[in-house]
């Protein structure tokens, strides 16, 4: 029986640390599903984890850019989420082969979501140590803080400065726990692939400001109506599953998000300001809710955490 710990973010690393402490004598293998489009902060963090723990984290996965090229530039999206399946899930299951394996996933006790569902012929038994131990988001941060292995915060200083100006009449700094501060002032909801079509608008703005080269690479995949890939080779999508390649009807501009062209976005200062101001308001509202001892008004794990790729991307 193989014992596999997937490492991709805070929850999965906390899972690996908890499991290896609880059952230290098992022959663990550590894996990162690398699609070649991770942020540089993520790669640096993985190196730090290896140095601190002595683990060797094997990189598996398929280059997402190559997979997209194989579909003649047809971009993954909500109706055709082939990126997760072909870049992460299938490589993992091929790597595991036919040997029975327990795979430890980073699903917390405070998350109400479906766990990993393997393919019919997979020999995987999923395990969820955080849930079994009753460890929630705050517990995850406690584990990683104690080990000095917190993942990248993707801190957005401009956002914090703007919120500070907005809340200048409040003593908000003392009201926040360190983990809340990290989450609220992050430019990313998770350390997932920078090509992820689930990125929020504020995340795209952060990417543009912090990694303009990577933003440009993401934008370069988009095509105008006149540049659309050969429709005879576009995938037919039925109920979210990629089935066959066939002709599809004429459609609008070919972008990561419907009606959202990244090249135009990069030069649209007015739209950028609207997005930034909205994020400032969201974070400020969340902080005021904390101050007033009300429920947090802003989800710290956003919709990206609820997608099918959630357990393998920045988790």
Q: What is the pLDDT of residues 282-304, one digit of tens each?
A: 999 999 998 886 445 455 554 44
Helix (H) or strand (E) run with residue 291 in it? helix 269-291
- Domain spans of the chain, in order of start: 2-152, 157-223+258-305
Q: How many helices, marked H, and strands, marked E, lie in the chain?
A: 13, 7
Kindly tell me if the per-residue pLDDT of 308 is higher than 90: no
* Residues 280 and 159: beta-carbon distance below 8 Å: yes
State mean pLDDT over 23-28. 97
Opening angle at CA 121, ends 118 and 124, nearest 5 = 45
Six-digit token pair at 200? 């929020």
Sorted by sequence, the CB contacts under 8 Å of residue 114 that are 6+ apart come out as none
pLDDT at 43 over 50: yes
- CATH pick for 2-152 out of 3.30.1120.10, 3.40.50.720, 3.40.50.620, 3.40.50.300: 3.40.50.620
pLDDT of 247-280, one tens digit each?
433 444 578 887 789 999 999 999 999 999 999 9
Helix (H) or strand (E) holding 215: helix 212-220
Give CA angle at 310 (158, 96), nearest 5°. 130
pTM across the whole model: 0.84
């Amino acid at each position: 029986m193989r014992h596999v710990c997937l490492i991709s973010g805070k929850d999965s690393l906390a899972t690996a640390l908890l499991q290896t402490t609880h059952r230290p004598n098992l022959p663990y293998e550590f894996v990162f599903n690398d699609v070649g489009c991770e942020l540089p902060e993520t790669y640096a963090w993985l190196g730090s984890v290896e140095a601190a723990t002595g683990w060797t984290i094997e990189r598996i996965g398929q280059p997402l850019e190559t997979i997209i090229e194989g579909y003649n530039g047809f971009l993954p999206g909500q109706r055709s989420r082939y990126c997760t399946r072909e870049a992460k899930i299938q490589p993992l299951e091929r790597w595991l082969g036919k040997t029975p394996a327990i795979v430890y996933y980073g699903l917390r006790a405070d998350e109400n979501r479906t766990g990993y569902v393997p393919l019919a012929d997979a020999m995987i038994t999923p395990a969820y140590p955080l849930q079994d131990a009753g460890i929630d988001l705050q517990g995850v941060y406690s584990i990683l803080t104690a080990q000095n292995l917190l993942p990248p915060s993707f801190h957005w200083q401009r956002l914090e400065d703007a919120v500070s100006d907005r809340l200048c009449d409040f003593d908000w700094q003392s009201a926040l726990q360190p983990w809340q501060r990290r989450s609220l002032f992050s430019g990313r909801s998770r350390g997932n692939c920078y090509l992820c079509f689930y990125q929020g608008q504020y995340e795209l703005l952060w990417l543009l400001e912090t990694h303009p080269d990577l933003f440009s690479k993401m934008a370069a995949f988009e095509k105008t109506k006149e540049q659309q890939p050969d429709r005879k080779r576009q995938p037919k999508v039925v109920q979210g599953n990629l089935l066959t390649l066939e002709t599809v009807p004429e459609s609008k501009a070919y972008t990561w998000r419907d009606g959202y062209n990244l090249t135009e976005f990069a030069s649209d200062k007015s739209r950028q300001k609207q997005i930034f101001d909205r994020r400032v308001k969201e974070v400020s509202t969340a902080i005021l809710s904390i101050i007033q001892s009300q429920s947090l008004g802003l989800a710290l794990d956003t919709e990206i955490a609820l997608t099918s790729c959630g357990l393998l991307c920045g988790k």
